[in-house]
Amino acid sequence: MKFGVFDHMDRAASTLGQQFEDRLKLIELYEKSGFHAYHLAEHHATPLGMAPSPSVFLAAVAQRTKTLRFGPLVYTVNLYHPLRLIDEICMLDQMSNGRLELGVGRGISPYEVGYYGVDPATGPERFAEALEVILQGLTHKQLDHAGKYFTFKNVPMEMQPVQLPYPPLWYGANSLESADRLAKQGCNTVVGMKAEGVGQFSARFRAAWKALGKPEAEMPSIGLSRHIVVGDTDKEAQSAARRAFARWYDALIHLWRANGVGLPRQMIPAEFEAALDGGYIVAGSPATVRDRLKRDNDVAGINYCLCRMAFGDLSFEESRRSVELFAAEVMPAL
């Protein structure tokens, strides 16, 4: 089992500059505490994402850490020109001496991509072509491509990543059917379902992996993401989690509410108690958190435990204490 951190970088109570600095200090603590990687979301025009340019923030992460792996989860690929994104990927991998984890996706919010003039209806097709171009550009000295959305002829590829052929790929999955495709692509995956649904996904992924004749030792990461708050007592941790979750959830639904529609399926419940019961939030003493994670991890069949340790208006000190308790008393048991 490996442990990672997922971060929306949703708007906190502090100034934005202070939020960035506090987060970088926490990321230094993640490295010290034995987390494998830090993953940053990309969102635009919403308080859900105050790091809308992941590459800029991750460049700072590269300089503040030595061993921690990091990356976007995900780059909203449809908002980038492929040549620009190829350059940013290569620069981050070079600046970190090969520690980049490359998350890619088309973007879950039609409003965010719409603000950039991208038709959400073209999302899957456009994303597939853009990813094909990006992977070709990362693995060839010259880029040639003729497609529906992009055309390139004899473009020199002067940049290259440290990790060959390219940094490890990550994708956010929301359907059981995608397991076969992602196994074939050898893609690390974070599954947006409850533990029981993730268990079905991971079983199908492993079966597809085995059918391809690939060794178990090379199995990609299959992860489940949860909000986690650890305190000295259940009451202390759940009080902080309840307060912070309300602020985070308000940011989550901001654009959907502004447009008078509900969230897509398989999203986290709005009520704290329902989210806690469903395992979307795990909050409590080290023993409570440890027992719940062990139970859900076994049901989900995952090998990557992805934690949201800073969200809403959790203070730096609250998150720091939570990380320290998690590293000392939860991680070793899992």
The CATH number of whichever domain residue 42 belongs to comes to: 3.20.20.30
Residue 292: its pLDDT value, please?
Answer: 97
Q: What is the mean pLDDT of residues 15-22?
A: 96
Tokens representing residue 20 in the block: 């960035």
DSSP structure class, residue 268: P
Among 167, 196, 218, residue at a domain's last position: 167
Portion of the chain with pLDDT greater than 90, in percent = 94
Summarize pLDDT for 158-211 with one digit per residue, the tens: 999 999 999 999 999 988 999 999 999 999 999 988 999 999 999 999 999 999
Q: Do residues 196 and 213 touch, judged by C-beta distance below 8 A?
A: no
Question: Are 88 and 197 within one domain?
Answer: no
| Alpha helices in the chain, H assignment, sequence order | 16-33, 54-64, 82-95, 110-115, 123-139, 178-185, 195-211, 234-252, 254-258, 272-277, 286-300, 316-325
Question: Are 13 and 120 within one domain?
Answer: no
Q: Do residues 191 and 197 touch, judged by C-beta distance below 8 A?
A: yes
Q: Do residues 314 and 229 touch, judged by C-beta distance below 8 A?
A: yes
Strand partners, 104: 75
Question: Are 204 and 55 within one domain?
Answer: yes
Distances (CA, A) of 20 to 30, 78, 85: 15, 26, 23
Question: Are 111 and 199 within one domain?
Answer: no
Task: Please tell me the pTM assigned to this model.
Answer: 0.96
**Average pLDDT, rounded, for the chain:** 96
Number of domains in the chain: 2
Residue 53: its pLDDT value, please?
Answer: 98
Residue 207: its pLDDT value, please?
Answer: 96
Among 167, 195, 219, residue at a domain's last position: 167
Question: Are 250 and 206 within one domain?
Answer: yes
Contacts of 66 (CB under 8 A, 6+ apart): 31
Task: Judge whether 173 lies within some domain.
Answer: no
What's the rounded Cα separation, in Å, for the pair 302 and 200? 11
Question: Are 14 and 61 within one domain?
Answer: yes
Summarize pLDDT for 303-331 with one digit per residue, the tens: 999 999 999 999 999 999 999 999 999 99
Task: Judge whether 172 lies within some domain.
Answer: no
Residue 266: its pLDDT value, please?
Answer: 60
Question: Are 50 and 85 within one domain?
Answer: no
Q: Do residues 272 and 241 touch, judged by C-beta distance below 8 A?
A: yes
**pLDDT band at residue 14 using 50, 70 and 90 as cut-offs:** confident
Residue 234's domain comprises: 2-68+178-333
What's the rounded Cα separation, in Å, for the pair 297 and 282? 12
Residue 3: its pLDDT value, please?
Answer: 98
The pLDDT of residue 264 is above 80: no
Q: What is the mean pLDDT of residues 110-129?
A: 94
Among 167, 190, 217, residue at a domain's last position: 167
Question: Are 327 and 219 within one domain?
Answer: yes
Task: Judge whether 235 lies within some domain.
Answer: yes
**pLDDT band at residue 265 using 50, 70 and 90 as cut-offs:** low
The pLDDT of residue 238 is above 70: yes
Summarize pLDDT for 69-90 with one digit per residue, the tens: 999 999 999 999 999 999 999 9
